[in-house]
Amino acid sequence: GAVVSQHPSWVICKSGTSVKIECRSLDFQATTMFWYRQFPKQSLMLMATSNEGSKATYEQGVEKDKFLINHASLTLSTLTVTSAHPEDSSFYICSARTVVGNTIYFGEGSWLTVV
């Protein structure tokens, strides 16, 4: 199947700093990527939909100024958590949709711990 790579796999940062997470589609072009957040023992919650070359569409309740999303190419989207706080600690997962077949594949996820 298609491969979606996420980096870093885990990161620890200090409260108040910013951290960037990358999501790459390795063997296909993805005009649309999605960013999710998952707290322990809860389901995936969609944060935003990222379309290449345009502004991301954020879900209700997600602060666009805090979670900056950039989708500058057909294979790369980034999520920057700005001024991170301990409550932002979570598992962040991206997914990418294939143009051919219209199937969604997930990255490996990134564990963020804010201390």
Partner 1 sequence: QKEVEQNSGPLSVPEGAIASLNCTYSDRGSQSFFWYRQYSGKSPELIMFIYSNGDKEDGRFTAQLNKASQYVSLLIRDSQPSDSATYLCAVKEVRGANSKLTFGKGITLSVRP
Give the binding site for partner 1 (CB under 8 A).
1, 6, 32, 34, 42-44, 46, 49, 51, 57, 91, 93, 95, 97, 102-109, 111
Q: How far is the CB of 94 from partner 1 (least distance, A)?
A: 9
Q: Which two tokens stand for residue 96?
A: 């990418």
Which one, 17 or 29, has the nearer CB to partner 1? 29
Phi first, then psi: give them for residue 92, nearest 5 degrees.
Answer: -105, 130
Q: How far is the CB of 72 from partner 1 (least distance, A)?
A: 19
Query: Using CA of residue 22, residue 96, residue 84, residue 63, what is the dihedral sign?
Result: positive
Q: Which residues pair with 22 in a beta bridge?
A: 7, 78
Q: How far is the CB of 106 from partner 1 (least distance, A)?
A: 5
Q: Checking DSSP bridges between strand 10-13 and strand 110-114, what pairing results, if any?
A: parallel
Which one, 78 or 95, has the nearer CB to partner 1? 95
